[in-house]
Copies of this chain bind each other. A is one copy, B any other.
Amino acid sequence: MFTLQSRQGTARRGRLETVHGRVETPAFMNVATAAAIKGAVSADDLTHIGCQVALCNTYHLHLRPGEQVVEAMGGLRTFMGWPGPTLTDSGGFQVFSLAKLRRIEEQGVTFASHIDGRRIFMGPEQSMQIQAALGSTIAMAFDECVENPSPRDYVLASCARTTRWAERSRAELDRQNAQRGAGQLLFGINQGGTYADIRVDHMRRLAELPFDGYAIGGLAVGEPAEVMYEIIEAVEPHMPQALPRYLMGVGTPDNLLEAVRRGVDLFDCVMPSRNARHGHLHTRAGVINLNNEKYATDRDPIEPTCACPTCRRYSRGYLRHLFKAGELLAMRLSVLHNLWFYNQLMAEIRQAIEQGDFEDYYRRHVQVLSRRI
């Protein structure tokens, strides 16, 4: 059950109650692709860095270890040792970005595994069956994510099919929930590339289906940030106010601030963990590059005011050494910091909306947080 606690302009402070725990929104969901955070971060670490939702990828888990294994192990949360809510994507995005030799038909997509070339078919029914077996808190409808820009005709046809897939996703998850006595939530996904009118039409169609939340997909896949913000502004008025909104795969700290300001509640992105693994660390003053020689004997933590597990104990100089020496610990400590930073940013955004200070918070941070210093 989603409830709005307070608003400031279009920005929303909400609360999503699930059978696996509460999610205070706006929230950043931490990406645990194959039921593990890249960089040797474990589920018990997530509880120490402010994570509310762990997001796993259906495509990856279907290929390895297979949803039957996860189900036999007690479902995703038991499998990975994470007690809180989880979200699985539909597999669609990876089918279109990672897999090879794909063929799209009305029924679904045939593709070759990027691991072993094995031919796999996935349509809305298969995606729902896999996600139901994984036992995530929130499942996502099966959709096609098109590149930006794509030809208008293609996007129109793709969106119509994604709508039909959304209907089939809803029907199949209803069957799965009934069979399993489960209450897995399902979010629909808006598509339409960079065509505002197609986006709006598609959103109106989706809103007629009984989803538990709505996502905007197919953004941050090549288009300028300004175009992304325009699309959010166009679509948002047509998203049900009473349900959570999720902007998929986004983004930089300033992307998050801009999108919260435009009414988005949920986010996920590999950027903070990927940045961290390359030595790019988030601070209040911008993103620092720990590979820089100037940090070699720097005894300060990444950010002196930060209370994350890394900043409480380790210096920039030590972390730089770990990167230079190729120690895996470099990645772990850096990922812990960057995820903490993102989760902490969302906590501050929530507080700012509650206190009516969000516009001020936005202005003080939006120009600063994402710059490289």
Given contacts A65-B296, A69-B296, A73-B317, contact A36 B325 (CB under 8 A): yes
Q: How far is the CA of A304 from the CA of B60 in the complex (A)?
A: 29
B-binding segment of A41-49, A88-96, A264-272, A346-354: A41-49
Q: Which of B40, B72, B296, B299 contacts A329 (CB 8 A)?
A: B40
Annotate A46-59 by CB proximity to B: 1 below 8 A, 0 otherwise. 00000000000000
Contacts of A324 in B (CB 8 A): 64-65
Within 8 A of B (CB), among A61-103: 64-65, 69, 72-74, 79-81
Specify how many copies of this chain sit in the oligomer: 2
The answer to whether A69 touches B325 (Cβ under 8 A) is no
Q: Which of B64, B299, B333 contacts A42 (CB 8 A)?
A: B333
Within 8 A of B (CB), among A304-360: 309, 313-315, 317-318, 320-322, 324-325, 327-329, 331-333
Q: How far is the CA of A108 from the CA of B331 in the complex (A)?
A: 37
A interface residues, Cβ below 8 angstroms from B: 34-44, 60, 64-65, 69, 72-74, 79-81, 296-297, 299, 309, 313-315, 317-318, 320-322, 324-325, 327-329, 331-333
Q: Which of B38, B44, B296, B322 contacts A36 (CB 8 A)?
A: B322
Q: Which of B65, B318, B321, B327 contacts A321 (CB 8 A)?
A: B65
Q: How far is the CA of A69 from the CA of B314 in the complex (A)?
A: 15
Min CB distance A327 to B, Å, is 4
Given contacts A318-B73, A321-B65, contact A327 B38 (CB under 8 A): yes
Contacts of A65 in B (CB 8 A): 296, 320-321, 324-325
Q: How far is the CA of A136 from the CA of B333 in the complex (A)?
A: 24
The answer to whether A40 touches B43 (Cβ under 8 A) is no
The answer to whether B315 touches A38 (Cβ under 8 A) is no
Min CB distance A311 to B, Å, is 11
The answer to whether A69 touches B321 (Cβ under 8 A) is yes
Contacts of A36 in B (CB 8 A): 322, 325, 327, 329
The answer to whether B313 touches A40 (Cβ under 8 A) is no
A-B contact pairs, 19 of them (CB 8 A): A34-B322, A34-B327, A35-B318, A35-B321, A36-B325, A36-B327, A36-B329, A39-B328, A40-B327, A42-B332, A42-B333, A44-B313, A65-B321, A65-B324, A69-B297, A74-B299, A79-B317, A79-B318, A328-B331
Q: Which of B34, B69, B309, B313 contacts A317 (CB 8 A)?
A: B69
Of A69, A73, A80, A328, most B-chain CB atoms within 10 Å: A328
Q: How far is the CA of A329 from the CA of B44 in the complex (A)?
A: 12
Q: Which of B72, B321, B328 contacts A40 (CB 8 A)?
A: B328
Q: Which of B38, B81, B325 contacts A318 (CB 8 A)?
A: B81
Min CB distance A310 to B, Å, is 9
Closest 7 CB pairs of A and B: A40-B40, A40-B328, A40-B332, A36-B327, A72-B297, A34-B325, A36-B329
Q: Which of B73, B314, B328 contacts A81 (CB 8 A)?
A: B314
